A = this chain, B = another copy of it.
Amino acid sequence: MIDLRSDNVSGIAPELLAAIATANEGTALGYGGDTRTSLLRERLREEFERDLEVFPVVSGTAANALALAAISRPWGAIYCHQSAHIHNTECAATEFFTGGAKLLPLGGAGHKIALPELESALADAGIGLPQRAQPCAVSLTQATDFGTVYRPAEVEALSQTAHRRGLRVHMDGARLANALVASGCTPAEMTWRAGVDVLSLGATKNGAMNADAIVAFDPGIAAELRFRCRRGGHVPSKMRFLSAQLIAYLEDGLWLRLAERANRAAATIAAGLAGVAGIELAAPVEVNEVFLRGAESTFSRAEQLGLLFYRRPRGTIRLVTSFQTGDAEARACVDILKRAAA
């Protein structure tokens, strides 16, 4: 069995499991009052090269919805790409946490918001008119749900347009590490230096045991989150075990090395399928997701041969690699698909 259904089918990276075990000594104040959570804050400040606040949470949905609620009014409009996870795959969590804001999906090539689409939407939004939901935020998914990556210049252009109109910018970084590896830029360059006000920093898909974090680059956003997280049930009392994982995640670039492994496996699969008749890449592979087009019979055979993946609309399948997917497994995946297509 080769399980490429999602990167969240993976387990805990050994370094993070070790960090949990190490943190399991003595007592520690609950709800983030412990020393490890303070240390995590310090580590993130170094990593992102600026002051910030951090709120460890247990799911990407929680991170996204809480972060967006902190920057949107209940009558707000939040712009995202039409393929965004927050719009399609989070059971209206953002609408819930904001108290009824609207997600307004935009188009754009490569599953990234096109700047002219955002500009045009804002021009027509009726800012200040009480009958219209009021533009409050732009949310960028990084990497996107189709494995593409915004470059810092793209983030910056969108952010500038947003900020000019008074909107704040959120980045859903469920796969931020993969995007950093793909683009070769620093966390700072990819986020606040490019205008991001609040970040969902994913770790779960990349080796953590249900540990993600909201990183607020603005004290006003952080002040809101203290209460929003608590009333959302999103302040696990034994916070030290989330913080310990996240510290280990950042230690010596572990997060990037884990992401690199996942990205490399996807690249191996993509390269291995080049020129294979009956299977084509539906999109370029930038991070750890591979989208393939082919005959349904091909894909059914691949399943019978032991490859696990999810189907997407219009004859497409999605393979997602993780830090656990080794080279051997990537090559085995290629073999299965070649045999299935033969």
A residues sitting closer than 8 Å to B (CB atoms) are 3, 5-6, 8-12, 17, 20-21, 23-31, 57-63, 65-66, 73-77, 88-93, 95-103, 124, 130-134, 204-205, 209-210, 226-238, 241-242, 313, 324
Contacts and interface: CB of A to CB of B under 8 A. Distances in A.
A18 to B, nearest CB: 10
A250 B57 CA distance: 26
A187 B284 CA distance: 55
A93 B231 contact: yes
B227 A58 contact: no
A95 B17 CA distance: 36
Contacts of A5: 27, 29
B75 A227 contact: yes
A66 B205 CA distance: 25
A85 to B, nearest CB: 9
Nearest to A89: B131
A31 to B, nearest CB: 8
Contact of A237 (B8, B130, B242): B8
**By CB atoms of chain B within 10 A, which of A61, A62, A90, A232 has the most?**
A232
A12 B30 contact: no
25 contacts: A3-B27, A6-B30, A6-B237, A8-B238, A9-B28, A9-B30, A11-B26, A11-B28, A31-B131, A57-B233, A59-B234, A60-B237, A61-B235, A74-B99, A91-B130, A91-B131, A92-B231, A95-B95, A96-B232, A99-B100, A100-B100, A130-B227, A204-B237, A210-B236, A232-B232
Contacts of A10: 27
Given A95-B102, A124-B313, 7 more contacts: A12-B24, A59-B237, A66-B233, A75-B228, A75-B230, A93-B233, A209-B238
A91 B230 contact: yes
Contacts of A60: 237
Nearest to A21: B17
B210 A237 contact: yes
A75 B99 contact: no
A100 B11 CA distance: 33
A233 B92 contact: no
Nearest to A12: B24
A202 to B, nearest CB: 10
A102 B103 CA distance: 8
A131 B228 CA distance: 10
A90 to B, nearest CB: 7
